[in-house]
């Protein structure tokens, strides 16, 4: 295989065709990885996002990458964890599916993801990792034109959880 990688890093430094952003519904920036992506991309990203009219949880919208080394940013608001009985798992799966579909539609061959919903949004890491890994692997099966998807973890703890979920 070799088409799926899990590593520790800063997603704003990745020279890939598209990076996903764990956004919020406004798409107007926030904390965590969203803030880091906006800082690195510069004000033009916010300008383009203003025109998008927000985004529903689990859906995704694409913009250019501006000052980032990545060509595109695919913004996806993950679910806020509310105990697990509010459709969180399905919504998180939708995030990864919709990002991968948009990447495919824009001809992206290399895509990087952050650990959506597991920071400020509080999704339990092990559960989120299992959903992410499964959905990414399914996406790679579905779209053979995508050459590589990288799960970019912001700490070794997160990397370990994703590797465990992928049975490394």
Residue 68 near ligand ADP by CB under 6 A: no
Whole-number minimum distance, CB 115 to ligand ADP, in Å? 4
Check binding of 116 to ligand ADP (CB under 6 A).
yes
Nearer to ligand ADP, 107 or 126 (CB): 126
**146: phi > 0 → left, psi -120 to 50 → alpha, else beta; which?**
beta
CA of residue 33 relative to chain centroid, distance? 10
3-state secondary structure of 103: helix
Q: Reply yes or no on whether 34 is catalytic.
A: yes
Contact residue for ligand ADP among 66, 120, 124, 160 (CB under 6 A):
120
Is 17 one of the binding residues for ligand ADP (CB under 6 A)?
no
Q: Which residue, 10 or 107, has its beta carbon nearer to ligand ADP?
A: 10
* Cα–Cα distance, 103 to 161 (Å, whole number): 25
Rounded Cα–Cα distance for residues 13 and 130 (Å): 25
Tokens of 46: 């916010």
Q: Residue numbers of the site for ligand ADP (CB under 6 A)? A: 10-12, 22, 32-34, 36, 78, 114-121, 152, 154, 158
């Amino acid at each position: 295989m070799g088409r799926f990688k899990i590593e520790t890093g800063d997603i704003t430094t990745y020279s890939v065709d598209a990076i996903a952003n764990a956004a919020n519904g406004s798409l107007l920036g926030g904390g965590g990885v969203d803030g880091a992506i906006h800082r690195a991309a510069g004000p033009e990203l916010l300008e383009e996002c203003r025109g998008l009219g927000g985004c529903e949880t689990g859906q995704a919208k694409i913009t250019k990458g501006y000052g980032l080394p990545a060509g595109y940013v695919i913004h996806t608001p993950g679910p806020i964890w509310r105990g697990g009985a509010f459709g969180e798992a399905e919504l998180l799966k939708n995030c990864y599916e919709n990002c991968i579909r948009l990447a495919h539609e824009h001809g992206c061959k290399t895509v990087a993801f952050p650990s959506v919903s597991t920071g400020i949004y509080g999704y339990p890491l092990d559960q989120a990792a299992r959903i992410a890994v499964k959905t990414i692997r399914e996406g790679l099966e579905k779209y053979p034109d995508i050459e590589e998807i990288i799960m970019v973890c912001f700490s070794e703890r997160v990397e370990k959880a994703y590797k465990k979920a992928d049975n490394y």
